Structure 1
């Protein structure tokens, strides 16, 4: 779609150009500019490394490596090509390579990056400030790896592959970088094309629905039950996975185990892909429509006068991970699976 400059009497067409015509290089220009303006293609992201290549038996390098506000790693790959080459496959390899990156390794990489870019900051303190942490939380760091692909354009093969990979559970964003020329001015149109921002919530719901359908067709849908113990005493018996967050919060509250740090841990936990605790006004329309929170009932938890609903989007893998996180954080809590667990 064409872009125009508005004047009093006419629309002046803004001409499309290319990085090659403008003699802009991939690393020296595009990567350098995005490195210090990363919000243009990935909001709430901190770049911690450039040309990161600390892999065993590999000479490959990630263009930019970052972390987001949820402490997820972000692999950012850039191309000035008109089709994107095979960047999605390359980025997946990189994501696999950094999936086990530790907090200490991230701090070390960020320290090197700060030195290279001549920034007088302490790496660990800067990371903690960005994440809003008082101290390192190794168990919460790097649980997921997101991928951001930015290019002049993307071939149909890439977009089809990315849509399928996202449907299968990956988190890949495609951002089109379109240089424009208006007289002596060089402009850059930044446009996220996958997932479409206005359709993001819908696409997430479609993704979850397809996963559930695949599980049902294969006969692998788990119908087991759980029991929760606090200090060795039974708190709740034989409840469904969908209630694991609810009974965890209630057990902690009734046993006076929720201080401010514990509340923040629970409030922002996204093990089930949705924020564990939300106020009524924070719940999106699609979340409400698909009953991710039981807003047709009274709020389920109150903390310091504020009422919250508890997320219900628990598949078998994220239920197990949530249980491990809770038992590591609160040693008095213990879960047991009922008969029939897969």
Structure 2
């Protein structure tokens, strides 16, 4: 790795260091970095516990426990400069221990984690179903199908470890190897994070094959809930485009109860909700800095009367807190899964989306 100097049109080598020689430890440093920036793994993960030790008849503890966007548990094992020989066996034990965790238990684990961070534990279930793009707690099933995932993190992986991981992957177990290396240039330090197993091309192919094989099974397991969602979104999306709504152009249709628009402005986008007992349109306001989020929400809330007059209907206003988004929404209580009424629901959503775009877009917060 080299630093580029534009002025002299030259490069300077950035030295690869070990965590040990820089004085970094697994628990106090690497673990904290990854817990606070879970997107470093190359996907969206929700960390739900550190140093998890909730296993019966053992004092063992795993480094990080997370959820992915499908509600699967992700076991994350961190090593520093060397993966060691037994890291795969260790992680697989943890995956087996976690296989019996229920939705209620997982929410309880996350509550304990939020308490340790001085967060609001009462919001645990809401944070989880917001992360999963689900609108109701009743729609959330965690650790379904016993498909726990494993992520191994180290600066160097021994050959016996990578060989074992590849063998497990060939037999359907989802194990990922993430290589992390510290670098130094003078007093400046940097960290590289690279997925070495699986490679991107291999991963895309395996995912498509696995999704194809599981599609029919999932439909039965979910009581065709996912099938209904896909069918409804496929019915609604073309109508939005035909009516010149630009927010959901190129939106990927997924079997979720919530569909996100593209960003209308930094930290602000629309969200469509299709659930068993209602449909809704929302303006979602989510900033990493809650003070900025509060400022963006209040800018609209102070203009609430004019906005609702322009829309022609009242709105629900929820400012959110901590790591929860602010939500401004209009909801229609109905039997969402009654297909005979879908034309009506689509028309209701279509009118509300266009009204939201017209009323809110010019008034959204901008930090510029």
The alignment partner of 2:49 has SS state of strand
Q: d(CA) in 2 for partners of 1:244 and 1:107?
A: 26
Q: Which residue of 2 aligns with 1:193?
A: 196
Q: Which residue of 2 aligns with 1:304?
A: 236
- Which structure has the higher relative contact order (CA within 8 Å, separation 6+)? 1
1:141 is displaced (CA, Å) by 1.5
Given that 2:182 and 2:189 are in contact with CA atoms closer than 8 Å, whether structure 1 keeps it comes out as yes
Q: d(CA) in 2 for partners of 1:72 and 1:117?
A: 23
1:124 is displaced (CA, Å) by 1.6
Unaligned runs of 5+ in 2: 240-251, 256-336, 338-368
1:12 is displaced (CA, Å) by 0.3
Q: Which residue of 1 aligns with 2:324?
A: none
Q: d(CA) in 2 for partners of 1:23 and 1:206?
A: 44
Q: Which residue of 1 aligns with 2:174?
A: 171
Q: Which residue of 2 aligns with 1:227?
A: none
Query: 5 Å matches for 1:77-96?
Result: 77-96=77-96
The alignment partner of 1:303 has SS state of helix
1:136 aligns with 2:137: yes
Q: d(CA) in 1 for partners of 2:96 and 2:228?
A: 29
1:148 aligns with 2:146: no
Flag the 1:310–1:11 CA change in 2: closer, same or farther, 3 A.
closer
Q: Which residue of 1 aligns with 2:53?
A: 53
1:310 is displaced (CA, Å) by 12
Given that 2:47 and 2:65 are in contact with CA atoms closer than 8 Å, whether structure 1 keeps it comes out as yes
Q: d(CA) in 1 for partners of 2:166 and 2:56?
A: 30
Matched residues, number: 239
TM-score with structure 1 length normalisation? 0.61
1:99 is displaced (CA, Å) by 1.0
Q: Which residue of 2 aligns with 1:36?
A: 36
The alignment partner of 1:56 has SS state of coil
The alignment partner of 2:137 has SS state of coil
Given that 1:148 and 1:173 are in contact with CA atoms closer than 8 Å, whether structure 2 keeps it comes out as yes
Equivalent of residue 266 in structure 1, options 227, 238, 263: 227
Q: Which residue of 2 aligns with 1:74?
A: 74
Unaligned runs of 5+ in 1: 213-240, 253-261, 269-276, 280-300, 312-329, 331-342
Given that 1:167 and 1:207 are in contact with CA atoms closer than 8 Å, whether structure 2 keeps it comes out as no
Q: Which residue of 2 aligns with 1:158?
A: 161
Task: Give the alignment's Cα RMSD to 1 decimal.
Answer: 3.6
